[in-house]
Structure 1
Amino acid sequence: MAQQAHAQQAGPVDATPNDQQIQDIVVTGSRIVRDGYTAPTPVTVAPTADLAKATPTNIADGLNKLPQFSLSSGPARSTHNFASSAANGNLLNLRGVGPERTLIMFDSVRMPPTTFRGVVDVNIIPNLLVERVDIVTAGASAAYGSDAVSGVVNFVLNKKFTGISGVAQGGVDQRGDNGNEKFGLAYGSDFAGGRGHILLSGEYYNSRGMLRSDRKQSLGNYLYAGQNRAALLAGNPAGSAANPLVLYSNTTINNSTSGGLINGPANFSFNNFRFLPNGQATPFNAGTLIGTAGYSVGGDGYVITPQSTAVAPLTTYQTFGRLSYDVADDVNVYVQGVFTRSDIKYSSLANAFAPPNSATIFSGNPYLPANVQAAMTAQNIPSISVAVNLTEMGPLPAEERTDFYMGQAGVEGKLGNFDWTLGYVHSKSIFTLAQQTFDLKKAYAALDAVRNPANGQITCRVLLDPAVASQYQGCQPLNIIGSAGPNATRAGYDYANGASRYRAETTQDQLQGSIQGSLFDLPAGPVDIAIGAEWRRQKLHLTSNSDPATLAGATAAQTAALRSAYFAGLRGVGSTALYYNLTNTGIANGRVTVKEAFAEINVPVLKDIPFIQALDVSAAGRVTDYSTSGRVETWKVGGTWKPVDDLLFRITRSRDIRAPALYDLFAGDSSAIGTLNDPVSGVTSNVPQITGGNPNLTPEKADTFTFGGVLTPGFLRGFSISVDYYKLKINDAIGTLSLGQIVNNCRLDANAPECALVTRPSPTAFPTSVRISPANIAILQTKGIDVDASYRTALGNGNLSLRAYVNYLDSFKTQQSATAVVLENAGRGSNANQPIARPKWRGTFNVNYENAGWGVFVSEQYIGKFKLGFPAATGQNQVFADPDVNAVWYTDLTISKKIEAYGGYIELFGTVNNLFDKKPPLIPGTIPGLNLPTIISVYDQVGRAFTAGARFKF
C-alpha cells in the first residue's frame, strides 16, 4: 500500500494499480493530508520488506545503499583511530551535506539527539514494527521544523499491526569475520471490542565486526606520496605537478620506531639512533626516502598497527510498546514508550610518545644501554628525547554506549472536516565513552625510572620524594626502550594506562498540537489547511574525567600553577600534556527552549479542463523562536500541474534552517590528537587539537529549489517514473576548519585570523597545539537529479517487480568563508584525513520475482567513477599521476520460500551480499596506515557475506 501511495506522491515503486489503496495511504512530505493527493515535494518510500531483502542486518544499512544517502557513518563506515568523534553509530546523511542536516523522525515525531554532537544514531529505532521509511529529499523545515535542510527520514510505525511476527537469523562473511545474529518478536492485538489496540516488540542484534588485519589489502602499508624526491627538495610539495602522488607499498613513518628513536638533542652522538628489541642502540635506517617528507619505503620507521578495528562490533537491544484506546467514536488516546541500548566497541591506535611529544629519558635511567649512558655522562647530556610507538602492546580498546528512552502520550480525534492531535514527548539519551590510553600523570611517573639507593631496585623516582610520593602510590617503572621493554615491564605499562571517560546526557521535552482539514470547497476541490504549534526544551549535560579546562587558568601564571600542582614532582612533562594521551573531552552544560507556530495551505486552482486535469498551489510557513539566538522564519511554496492523467509536474521553493547543536554552543575545551603534515616546519606528526563551543552561533539558512515530474502511462500499467532536479544552497553554515586548513590558511596569509589558532614555539617550529571551533562561516551548494522508476507485471504464474533509484550529482561546491575560494567537489574523492568520495553517478537497481511462495530478489548497487584529489583552498590542488577510479558494481541476492502455516506464514530466506566478492578499489591515504586503503564511506570492505534465517507472521 505504501508503494502505491508513492506512485502518486513521489514517483514509482513496485505497484499494481489499486485506487482504493492509494486513497488509504498518507506519506510524509506535508502536514496536510488528502486522499490520494500529490505533493510538490519529492518523497521516496522504502518498504522495510524490500530493505530487508537487500540488507537483512538492519534498516539503516539498507537505506545507505540508496543513492539519496551519501557518506553516512556507521560501524563499517567510520574510522576508529581515535575515540573523540562520537560518529560510529548509524548516522544517516541525505545528499552528503552532513547527518546534522537530516531530520530523523519516528512516526512523524522528531527524534532527540543521541550523541552530544546533535545527531541521531538510528540504531535506537525499533525495526520490527516499522512498515516503511519515507524519505523527503528536499527541505522541509517549514513543515517539520529545524534540521530538515536536506530532508526528512521518517520511520513510519504500523499502528494497526495484529498478530505475532518475528525474525531469527544469523550471518558471517566468507572469511569467517563479521559474524552476526538477529532475533526479534512483535505482537499486536485489538481489545475492548476493537476500541483498543496494543503493540509490543523486542529485538536483539549482534555483530562481531572485524579488524583491519583481517584483510590482505590492509597489510601492504600502501600510501599515496610524492613521486619525485628531488622535486620535493627543490621546493615542490607532494601532490604538485612536478611531484605528483603515486602509489607506494611497504611504507613507513620515519620520525619514530616501535623500539624508540633518539631524536634529540641534536648534538648528542647517539642522536638518530634507534633501539633494538634488546635495548641496544644502532643507527636508524630511514629506508628509501620518497617525495613526501617524513615517509619512506622500507627502513626502520614505524607502521600504524593493522590490529585496529575496521568494522566495529555492534550490539543493540530494542524494545517498544504502545497502547491506544478510542474513548469516543472520534477521539483516541495513546501512550507509547521506547527503550534501546546500542553498544559499539573498537580498537583504536596504539599508545605512543610521538613528536612533538616524545618521551624524555633522563640520565641515570637504569634501562638505558651502558654505551648510551656513558655518552650522556661524557657529553653532559641530562636527558634524551625518544619517539616511540608501542605497537607491540596492541591497539587501545574503546567502548561507546547509547541508552535511549522515550515516552509519549497524546490524544487525537476528528471534529467535522478536521483532524486534530495533541501530544507530549519526553526523551533522554545517555552516551558514554571509555577510551583506554596513557594516563599522562602516571605515565610520566613510570617513565622516570631510577635505582633505589637503599636496595638497588629499579623504582619510580617520585616514590623517593617524600613530598609527592603519596600521590603516586602503586607506581611501577616503565621501560619503553626496545620493543621488548614494555612487555618486560608490563606492570609499569598497566600502571601508566587509564581510561578517559565522558558521559553526555541529552534530554528533550516536546509539546505539540495541530489541526488539519478542509476549510471550504472551490470548483477545483477543497482548500486544505494545517496549523499548529510546538514547544520543546533540550538540555545537554556532559561530564568528563579529562576536562582540559581544569588545567587552564585565566592567566598564564594561573595555568602554570594548576599544571605544576597536578604534575607535582614529575620531570619531562610535555608543555601541552593533559590528563590523557589520546582523548581529553571538555564538559558542556546548556539548554535551549524553542517555540514554534506553523501553517500550511493547499489550494486547488483549476481542474478538468484541457491540458489542466489538476492545478494546485501550496504554501507553508513557520516562525521559530530560539532562546539562544532569537527568531527565524522558514517557508515553502510549491505547486503541481497535471496536464493529462498520466503526467504530473511539481515545483517547490523553500527556506530552511538548521539550528546549532547544544554542543556547538556550549562545549568546553577538549583536546584530541590530530595528524598534521605541517607545510611550515616540513614535519609530519601528531599535534594536540583544542576544540570548544561558540555561544554566538546562529541557525544556518538554506534555500532549496526542486522541479520535476511523475509519469504513469496508462498504456503501460504498473510502470511509473519520476525525475526531479534539486538545488540546495546553505549560507552561514556552521563550519569548522580542519587542522590542515587552519595551518595552511595561516601559512598563506600571516595576518589571517587562523594564525591566532596556531601555537608554535618559534615561527618555523612544528605547532604545539591548534585550536578548532565552529563558526557561521561556510557556504555549501549542491545540485543534481534524482530518478525513481518502477515496473510491476505478471510473468508466468508469478509477479515481476523492477525498481531503479538513480542520482546524478551535478555539483557539490563548498566555500570555507564568503571570501574564500569556491571548491567543486563533485566527481572527486580522497582518502586523506577523512575517507570521502562524491561520484557523479550512483544507483540501486532491484529485481524481485515471486511465484508459488518462492522469491528471488537481486539488487545491483552502482558507484560511479571519480577522480582522486579534492580541490584545495590554496589553489594548489593535489595532482595524482593516475587519478582515475573506475566504477564499481555490487550484487546482492536473496532467495526465499514462504510456507503457509497456522493461519499465517513462515518465510525461510538466504541472502548473499556482495555476491561476486568485489574487492574495494585500492585507494590508500596520504598518511601510512592511518585509514584503510580504500574509501570506507563508499565501498564495501567486508566482501562476500552470507545471512540465513526465518521470518514469520501469524
Structure 2
Amino acid sequence: MAQQACAQQAEPAEAAAPNDQQVQDIVVTGSRIVRDGYTAPTPVTVAPTADLAKATPTNIADGLNKLPQFSLSSGPARSTHNFASSAANGNLLNLRGVGPERTLIMFDSVRMPPTTFRGVVDVNIIPNLLVERVDIVTAGASAAYGSDAVSGVVNFVLNKKFTGLTGVVQAGVSQRGDNGNEKFGLAYGTDFAEDRGHILLSGEYYNNRGMLRSDRKQSLGNFLYAGQSRTALLAGNPAGSAANPFAIYSNTTITNSTVGGLINGPAGFSFNNFRFNQSGQAVPFNAGTLIGTNGYAVGGDGYVISPNTTAVAPLRTYQGFGRVSYDLTDDVTFFGQGVFTRSDLQYASLANAFSAPANVTIYSGNPYIPANVQAAMTAQGVPSFTMAANLSYMGPLQAKERTDFYMGQAGFEGKLGNFNWNTSYVHSKSIFTLAQQTFDIKKTFAALDAVRNPANGQITCRVLLDPTVASQYQGCQPLNIMGEGSAAATRAGYDYANGVSRYRAETTQDQLQASLSGSLFDLPAGPVDIAIGAEWRKQKLHLTSNSDPATLAGATAAQTTALRSAYFAGLRGVPTSSLYYNITNTGIANGSVTVKEAFAEISVPILKDIPFIRALDVNAAGRITDYSTSGRVETWKVGGTWKPVDDLLFRITRSRDIRAPALYDLFAGDSSGIGTLNDPVSGVTANVSQITGGNRNLKPEKADTFTFGGVLTPSFLRGFSISVDYYNLKIDDAIGTLSVAQIVNNCRLDANAPECALVNRPSAGAFPTSVRIAPANIAVLKTSGIDVDASYRTTLGNGNLSLRAYVNYLDSYKTQQSATQVVLENAGRGSNGSQPIARPKWRGTFNVNYENDGWGVFISEQYIGKFKLGFPAATGQNQVFADPDVGTVWYTDLTISKKIDAFGGDVEFFGTVNNLFDKKPPLIPGTIPGVNFPTIISVYDQVGRAFTAGARFKF
C-alpha cells in the first residue's frame, strides 16, 4: 500500500513477477529536481490510491490514516463533538503526530490554502477519482516547499493524462445498522485538437450518516476513571496521585447537579441539598457512594451525561473538478483547472445545562416553586436560592458545520533547452460556517425569572411587566427547570430561551509562482541538476460572529459594567461571567499576511562506478521567506545518497524548517467557551469560562530535522525490498497554549507565576470565574523514531502475490509547554483527558494481496502497540493509574474483488469488511463520566465490523 519511493525505483524492472506489468519510473515529491530514477535523500512514501481503496473504500484520507506515519489525525470518527468551538472536525492529516498545522498539504504540487480558520486543511475537499497516488514526504521539506512542511508533505498527485470514463458506485453499513454510507463518482478525460489538448472532468458525492455514542453498549455503562480511595482523598491525596491512583468505576454520576435541579444555596436554607423530582417536588438529594474524586459518586441522584451525542459525525461531501490543457507550441503548454467542494458536517453535542458554579438563581415568588419550598423561603427570609440543573431530557444540541471551497489555477509550462519551467496563478477561497444550538443567555434569564401577572393571574416573564425594558424581550415565554421534564412542560419558554450561536470565517489566498529546473552541465559522475523559483502569496481572514465577547467588554471596568448593564437591562441573577450564549461565544478576526519567497536546489553527482561507490550524490536546498507580519526567515536542507553496491543505498538529510502562525493565531478576537475544571485550589469540579484570543507578536516556529537510513533490494531475492530510516525532529519556539488545568496548577504551585494573571477568582480560594488562554512561542517538541518498510512480490500458482509491511517505532516524543513546565515524555504513554490521545511505541500496517484470473483477495492488518496510561509522576499532573497498561490491538480488513470485461471496458465488483473480527476498543474512560466514548477515539475504532460493497469501472 505505502510504497517507499526509492525502494520502488531502486528495484530493477526484471525483478517484478512475470505476470506483473512493467514498473514505470515516477517523479516523486521528495525534491523539486525531477530526474527519472533519481532517489531522493529525503524518505518518501508512495501510496497508490487503488491500494488505499482496497483497505478503506470510504475515501483516501481514511485509508491514509491507517498508515503508521499518520498519528492522531482528526476526522468525523476521531474527534469529540461535545462543543462546536474547535472547527477541527474534518479530515485533518497529522504526520508524526505533531499536529495537522505542521503537515503541508498539496494538490498536484500546489500548496492547498487553509479550509478552516484554524489554518489547517480538511482533505475532504480534494477530489478522489482522478488522484493517481499520494506522495508522503516523512521529513522536513520547508526548503523545497515552504512553510508548514515541518513534519513533511502530503501531495495528492493528479493523473493529468487520464483518458476514458471511470467511476465508482458503492454503499456501506456497520453490522449494527448505523454508519450507513454511499459514494458515487464519475470522471472523464479526453484529448482534442489532434491530441494537442486534454480535458479532465470529475464529480463525486459521499454521504455517511454517522452514529451516536448510545449506539454502542460500551458507552452505556457510565464508566469513569476516578481516585481509588475516598479515604486517601480526604487525607489530602488528590485523584490520580500515587496514594490515590485512578481506577475504573461504572454507574457513576456527577454530584453537583441533577436532571431535575439541585438546590445548593444560600447557606442555612432548609432546602439546601434537595432536588426536584419528576413531579416537581423537592426531595432530599442522595449523593450515592462517594469515591476518590470530588464531585463524583456511584449511583445516587446525581446526573448522567446523556450518551445520545455524536460518536461519528454525519458527513456529506460534494466534489467537482475540471482541467484543460493545450499545447500552444511543441514546447509551451497552457493549463487551467478549478475545484469546487462542499463539506457538510452535523453532530449532536451536549445538552443545555446550568452547572456549578454558574448556577441559576430562582427568586421568591416564582410560581413554579413548590408550595412548601416557597413557604420555607418566606418564613426564613430567603429572597432566592441557587440551583444547578442538567436538561438532558430535552435532547442534545445540534451543531452544523459547512465548508465551501473554491480554487482556480491557470498557468503555462514548457521546456527551454535542458530546462523545464512553469508559472501559474492560484486563487482560492474557503468559507466555513457554524451554527450551534445553545441557550441565549439574555433570553434564558428573562424566561427563568417567572412571576404571575397581577392583572390576569397568568404566569409571565417578570421583564414584560417592566415598561422600561419590556420591548427588549417581546415574545418572552416563562421557563421552568424545577423538576425532571419541567422544561418540556414549558416548551414555549425553552424554545424562546434556546438560540443559535453562529460564525462565518472566510479565508482567501492568492498565489503567484514560477520555477525552472534542469541540468546545468555534466560531470564525470552525471549531470548537475538545479531547481530555482520564486513565490508570492497573500492570505486574508475575515471572521464574523453573532457572539463576539469583545462587544461586551470596554476599555475600563466601568465601561464593561455599563455595556453589560445595557445589554442585560432589567434582568437579575445573570452571572458576571455570562456572555451572549451559554456555550459558544466566538470573537471576530480580521487580518492578512503577505509572503515573498525565493528558493534554489542543487543535486551534484560526486562519484560513480568505482569500488564501493556505485553512486555518491549530494543535494542541497535553501529558501528565503519574508513575512509581512514577522520579517525574514531562512530554511535549508543538506543531504546525500551513497550506493556502495547495486543492492544497497544509504541516505542522510539535515534540514531547518518552519511553520508560520495561522492568521487566526495572530488576529483572533477574544472568544469564550466552557470546559470542566477540577480545581486544585477550591476542590470544586465544575464548568469554567475559558477566554481565548490571538497574539500578533507570534513568530514562525523553527524545526531541525535529521534523517539517516538505507534501502536494500537484494538481487538474490527478486521482488524483495526493505528500507529503514531513523528520524529526529526538534521544534523550538513552537506555538502553543497551556491548558486551563495547567494554568491553574502552575499558579497553585507558584503564586508569582505569570499564569496567575490569567486566572480570575472572585476571592482567594474560590472557584475561578474565567481563565484566559492565548497562543505564544513558548513550547518545545522533540520526537525521534524509526520507520521500516518491507515488500515482497512473487508468483503463487497462476496468480501474483504481494506482501508489504510498514512499521513505525516511536523512540521518543518529548514536549515542554513552556520554560516553566517540566519536560513530558509521551512515547509509549496515553492520556484520557477531554481530548484523549495515545502514542504507542509500535505501530504497523501489514498487507497481503493475491490476484488470479480476475479474482482478488486483499487482507490488511493494522497493529497498535501497547502503552501505559498517565504521565510520569514528576510532572506534578497527578496521572497515576492503578492498572495503567493498555494491551496491543489488531484490526483486520478484508476485500474480495472480481474483475470482468464488460461493454468494452473493465468492471470490478468488490466487497470489503472492515474490522473483520469486530474487535472492540479497549475500555479507557475519561475523568469526567459520559463526556466521550470510553476509549481513545483518535487511535481505536468505535464502529466495529462494517461492510461496503460496490463496483468500480473504466471504459
Give the TM-score, by structure 2 length: 0.99
Post-superposition CA distance 1:856-881 (Å, at most 9, x none): 00000000000011246743541111
Partner of 2:102: 101
Question: For residues 702-717 of structure 1, what are the structure 2 equivalents within 5 Å?
Answer: 702-717=703-718
1:731 deviates by 0.2
Post-superposition CA distance 1:506-558 (Å, at most 9, x none): 00000000000000000000000000000000000000000000000000000
Partner of 2:739: 738
Q: What secondary structure sits across from 1:388 in the alignment?
A: strand
Partner of 1:907: 908
Partner of 1:879: 880
Structure 1 distance, partners of 2:44, 2:10, is 5
Amino acid at match of 2:359: S
Partner of 1:161: 162
Post-superposition CA distance 1:258-306 (Å, at most 9, x none): 0000011111110111111111001111000000011000000011110
Whether contact under 8 Å (1:14, 1:792) holds in the other structure is no
Question: For residues 608-627 of structure 1, what are the structure 2 equivalents within 5 Å?
Answer: 608-627=609-628
1:7 deviates by 2.4
Q: What secondary structure sits across from 1:263 in the alignment?
A: strand
Question: For residues 515-914 of structure 1, what are the structure 2 equivalents within 5 Å?
Answer: 515-871=516-872, 874-914=875-915
Q: What secondary structure sits across from 2:265 in the alignment?
A: coil
Post-superposition CA distance 1:464-498 (Å, at most 9, x none): 00001011000000000001210100000000001
Structure 2 distance, partners of 1:792, 1:509, is 45
Whether contact under 8 Å (1:402, 1:432) holds in the other structure is yes
Q: What secondary structure sits across from 1:463 in the alignment?
A: helix
Structure 2 distance, partners of 1:606, 1:877, is 57
Structure 2 distance, partners of 1:174, 1:2, is 28
Whether contact under 8 Å (1:3, 1:13) holds in the other structure is no
Structure 2 distance, partners of 1:496, 1:662, is 34
Structure 2 distance, partners of 1:550, 1:197, is 54
Whether contact under 8 Å (2:4, 2:45) holds in the other structure is no
Structure 1 segments (4+ residues) deviating >4 Å: 1-6, 8-15, 17-23
1:831 deviates by 1.4
Structure 2 distance, partners of 1:818, 1:562, is 38
Amino acid at match of 1:147: D
Question: For residues 347-426 of structure 1, what are the structure 2 equivalents within 5 Å?
Answer: 347-426=348-427
Q: What secondary structure sits across from 1:328 in the alignment?
A: coil
Partner of 1:140: 141
Residues 597 and 872 (structure 1), Cα distance of their counterparts in 2 relative to 1, 3 Å cut = farther
Question: For residues 185-204 of structure 1, what are the structure 2 equivalents within 5 Å?
Answer: 185-204=186-205
Residues 12 and 801 (structure 1), Cα distance of their counterparts in 2 relative to 1, 3 Å cut = farther
1:376 deviates by 0.8
1:173 deviates by 0.3
Amino acid at match of 1:251: T
Amino acid at match of 2:388: A
Structure 2 distance, partners of 1:170, 1:104, is 28
Question: For residues 154-303 of structure 1, what are the structure 2 equivalents within 5 Å?
Answer: 154-303=155-304
Structure 1 distance, partners of 2:790, 2:746, is 46
Partner of 1:64: 65
Is 1:16 the counterpart of 2:22 in the alignment?
no
Structure 1 distance, partners of 2:603, 2:9, is 15
Structure 2 distance, partners of 1:91, 1:14, is 39
Structure 2 distance, partners of 1:412, 1:506, is 28
Amino acid at match of 1:804: A
Amino acid at match of 2:842: W
Superposed CA RMSD in Å reads 1.5
Is 1:450 the counterpart of 2:434 in the alignment?
no
Partner of 1:931: 932
Amino acid at match of 1:444: F
Partner of 1:460: 461
Q: What secondary structure sits across from 1:628 in the alignment?
A: coil
Structure 1 distance, partners of 2:202, 2:938, is 31
Q: What secondary structure sits across from 2:328 in the alignment?
A: strand
Count of matched residue positions in the alignment of Structure 1 and Structure 2: 954
Amino acid at match of 1:445: A
Structure 2 distance, partners of 1:411, 1:178, is 44
Structure 2 distance, partners of 1:750, 1:495, is 44
Structure 2 distance, partners of 1:683, 1:857, is 53
Q: What secondary structure sits across from 1:801 in the alignment?
A: strand
Amino acid at match of 1:886: G
Whether contact under 8 Å (1:899, 1:906) holds in the other structure is yes
1:833 deviates by 2.0
Partner of 1:7: 7
Structure 1 distance, partners of 2:17, 2:135, is 20
1:13 deviates by 13
Q: What secondary structure sits across from 2:442 in the alignment?
A: helix
5+ residue gaps, structure 2? none
1:817 deviates by 1.6
Post-superposition CA distance 1:822-850 (Å, at most 9, x none): 11000001211211000000000000000
Q: What secondary structure sits across from 1:66 in the alignment?
A: coil
Residues 382 and 2 (structure 1), Cα distance of their counterparts in 2 relative to 1, 3 Å cut = closer
Q: What secondary structure sits across from 2:438 in the alignment?
A: strand
Structure 2 distance, partners of 1:6, 1:892, is 27
Structure 2 distance, partners of 1:212, 1:17, is 47
Whether contact under 8 Å (2:13, 2:22) holds in the other structure is no
Structure 2 distance, partners of 1:339, 1:192, is 27
Residues 13 and 315 (structure 1), Cα distance of their counterparts in 2 relative to 1, 3 Å cut = farther
Question: For residues 472-551 of structure 1, what are the structure 2 equivalents within 5 Å?
Answer: 472-551=473-552
1:902 deviates by 2.7
Q: What secondary structure sits across from 2:650 in the alignment?
A: strand
Residues 510 and 51 (structure 1), Cα distance of their counterparts in 2 relative to 1, 3 Å cut = same
Partner of 1:32: 33
Structure 1 distance, partners of 2:777, 2:691, is 19
Amino acid at match of 1:758: V
1:379 deviates by 1.1
Structure 1 distance, partners of 2:202, 2:63, is 21
Structure 1 distance, partners of 2:336, 2:786, is 41
Amino acid at match of 1:479: N
Partner of 2:316: 315
Amino acid at match of 2:850: Y
1:819 deviates by 4.1
Structure 2 distance, partners of 1:594, 1:10, is 38
- Compare 19-28 and 388-397 and name the one that shifted more: 19-28
1:16 deviates by 2.4
1:818 deviates by 2.9
Structure 2 distance, partners of 1:175, 1:372, is 48
Structure 1 distance, partners of 2:194, 2:874, is 68
- Compare 52-61 and 16-25 and name the one that shifted more: 16-25
Residues 242 and 25 (structure 1), Cα distance of their counterparts in 2 relative to 1, 3 Å cut = same
Whether contact under 8 Å (2:6, 2:39) holds in the other structure is no
Whether contact under 8 Å (2:859, 2:892) holds in the other structure is yes
Determine what percentage of the aligned residue pairs are the same residue.
86
Whether contact under 8 Å (1:74, 1:89) holds in the other structure is yes
Whether contact under 8 Å (1:793, 1:799) holds in the other structure is yes
- Compare 246-255 and 9-18 and name the one that shifted more: 9-18
Q: What secondary structure sits across from 2:767 in the alignment?
A: coil
Structure 1 distance, partners of 2:889, 2:248, is 20
1:20 deviates by 11
Amino acid at match of 1:448: D
Structure 2 distance, partners of 1:520, 1:230, is 80
Whether contact under 8 Å (1:339, 1:403) holds in the other structure is yes
1:716 deviates by 1.1
Whether contact under 8 Å (1:13, 1:720) holds in the other structure is no
Amino acid at match of 2:276: F
Post-superposition CA distance 1:233-270 (Å, at most 9, x none): 00000111111111100000000000000011111110
Residues 104 and 54 (structure 1), Cα distance of their counterparts in 2 relative to 1, 3 Å cut = same
Post-superposition CA distance 1:440-461 (Å, at most 9, x none): 1000000000000000000000
Structure 1 distance, partners of 2:282, 2:15, is 74
